[in-house]
A and B are shown apart, each in its own frame.
Chain A
Amino acid sequence: MLRLIPIFAVLVLLTALPSCRNESWRQKLTVVVETPNGEVSGSSVTEITKRDQRGNWFFPDARGVYSEVKGEAVAVEVLPGKWLFALLDGREDGKGKVEYLVYPAFALDKATDANGRRSYEAAMAKLHAQPLDTPAMIPASDYPLMVTFDDINDPASVKRVDSSDLAAGFGPGVSLKAVTLEITDEPVTDGRVEAVLAWWLDTRSGPYNEMTPLKLPNASPRGWNHLGASAFWSLEYRQRFDRRAP
């Protein structure tokens, strides 16, 4: 009898497969910066997939809507040799994660269904109704985590950027003009960040020889936190770098 339990479990999972509803879209995040030399901008297209595992077919601890990201951070050359990165990761307060940016950009948290109730389904319906390639402003409260390097080739020089005071990080006359998001069918961006931070791909450590995390100074009790490659690249990219690693 016990031997039949795994077979039964497999059948249950196969039955559950159709109930695992996925939503997927591509979005282009654009950062526009005013500089003394004029306006500069950078963009990155990421692909977001939401896996809906809320049904009764799933273990209670596995239920929820999970997000997967494919893509890389936004890199903007603000001044010659001075780069601004808008990361995939959010800030300490949980806001600004790339997979959730559609909510503040398109006011999805206010989307309601036919009964006037806010729901995930209503949010996804509103998202899919968005016109392609039509940028929407992201409010400052939902900006992604932004960092720069004093020396783009020195991992120890990484530092956080205050989006409301870019002049502090880049000098007088530099300010953030806008951060926008649009739904697009453009291909996922690949290679821009790699071209700028090529040195990082060869800086490796740990039991699996992964890219060495950076130390990002902050105001915490310890004074810094690790900033890993996952903030710049999704898993698929990092695995590709790992395979090429020396």
Chain B
Amino acid sequence: MTISKDLYLSILSMDAYSRGYHTGLDDLGDASDGSVHIGLADVSFNITDAGIFNAAEASSFYAIAYTMGGNSTTGIANGTTIISYRGTDQPFMEFIPVDLPISYGGSYDQRQIALAQQFFNSVQQNGNAPDIDPAIMLLTGHSLGGAAAALRMAQGRISPP
């Protein structure tokens, strides 16, 4: 069975809600040691690896990186690193102070932007690790996570979400 690249990225954009802290489902785990998979994607980097766990939890930010282990079914090349940014999951903490200014004021929350950038940089800086290749990177995200991915894409030559 094949699955399109866009559908696979959509699945990964929602998967970020179910890993790490404050998960919507039971915690599916975000260990980056090669033991956690979703389809052909292996979790390869998390916010603990990036050294931003406290700042992320305090700002309700979460992101996770996967590395594709095969390309036969998704159209995403083997070895591609995919970063997925979690969207709004804390209505009172994120909707008014973060979402509304983006939607109606064009103003991005500086903590969320900084964390999205820091996570991206950390994934790139770990490019010398065998499971991260900085030359092949895709970004995805749902809701606020989509905005974070799009903004990061606009700031660099990265594939759109």
A interface list, Cβ under 8 A from B: 2-3, 5-6, 9-10, 13, 16-17, 20, 53, 58-59, 61-64, 66-68, 90, 92, 94, 97, 205-208, 210, 212-213, 218, 220-226, 228-230, 235, 238-239, 242
Looking at the assembled complex, report how far the CB atom of A39 sits from the nearest CB atom of chain B, in whole angstroms.
33
Judged by a CB distance under 8 angstroms, whether B7 is at the interface is no
Which one of B52-60, B73-81, B132-140, B151-159 contacts A? B52-60
A239–B122 Cα gap in the complex (Å)? Answer: 21
Number of interface residues of B (CB under 8 A): 43
Contact A210 B53 (CB under 8 A): yes
Looking at the assembled complex, report how far the CB atom of B66 sits from the nearest CB atom of chain A, in whole angstroms.
14
Q: Which of B1-31 contact A (CB under 8 A)?
A: 14, 17, 21-29, 31
**A61-B142, A61-B143, A221-B35 known; A94 vs B26 contact (CB < 8 Å):** yes
Looking at the assembled complex, report how far the CB atom of B123 sits from the nearest CB atom of chain A, in whole angstroms.
13
Contact A9 B95 (CB under 8 A): yes
Tell which of B49, B100, B143 touches A9, judged by Cβ atoms closer than 8 Å: B100
Looking at the assembled complex, report how far the CB atom of A126 sits from the nearest CB atom of chain B, in whole angstroms.
20
A17 partner residues in chain B, CB cutoff 8 A: 92
Which residue on chain A has the smallest CB distance to residue B34? A221
A-B pairs with lowest CB-CB distance, top 10: A206-B51, A221-B34, A220-B33, A64-B24, A222-B33, A228-B48, A220-B35, A225-B33, A208-B55, A226-B48
A9 partner residues in chain B, CB cutoff 8 A: 95-96, 100
Contact A210 B17 (CB under 8 A): no
B124 partner residues in chain A, CB cutoff 8 A: none
Q: Which of B114-150 contact A (CB under 8 A)?
A: 118, 121-122, 131, 142-143
B109 partner residues in chain A, CB cutoff 8 A: none
A64–B32 Cα gap in the complex (Å)? Answer: 25
Main SS at interface, chain B: loop
**A9-B100, A221-B33 known; A61 vs B57 contact (CB < 8 Å):** no
Contact A210 B88 (CB under 8 A): no
B interface list, Cβ under 8 A from A: 14, 17, 21-29, 31-35, 46, 48-55, 57-58, 87-92, 95-96, 100, 104, 118, 121-122, 131, 142-143
- Give the number of A-B contacts (CB < 8 Å): 117
A212–B14 Cα gap in the complex (Å)? Answer: 29
13 A-B pairs whose Cβ atoms sit less than 8 Å apart in the complex? A10-B96, A13-B92, A58-B91, A59-B91, A61-B88, A61-B143, A67-B22, A208-B52, A210-B52, A212-B51, A223-B33, A230-B53, A230-B57
Contact A94 B29 (CB under 8 A): yes
A192–B23 Cα gap in the complex (Å)? Answer: 28
Contact A13 B96 (CB under 8 A): yes
A226 partner residues in chain B, CB cutoff 8 A: 32, 46, 48-49
Between A5, A90, A208, A223, the greatest number of chain B beta carbons within 10 A of the residue's beta carbon is seen for A208
Tell which of B58, B92, B96 touches A235, judged by Cβ atoms closer than 8 Å: B58
Contact A61 B17 (CB under 8 A): yes
A221 partner residues in chain B, CB cutoff 8 A: 33-35
Contact A239 B54 (CB under 8 A): yes
A90 partner residues in chain B, CB cutoff 8 A: 27
A17–B96 Cα gap in the complex (Å)? Answer: 13
A223–B35 Cα gap in the complex (Å)? Answer: 10
Tell which of A13, A63, A207, A222 touches B34, judged by Cβ atoms closer than 8 Å: A222
Contact A239 B58 (CB under 8 A): yes
Tell which of A10, A63, A94, A205 touches B27, judged by Cβ atoms closer than 8 Å: A94
A55–B53 Cα gap in the complex (Å)? Answer: 29
Contact B27 A97 (CB under 8 A): yes
A94 partner residues in chain B, CB cutoff 8 A: 26-29
A66–B91 Cα gap in the complex (Å)? Answer: 12
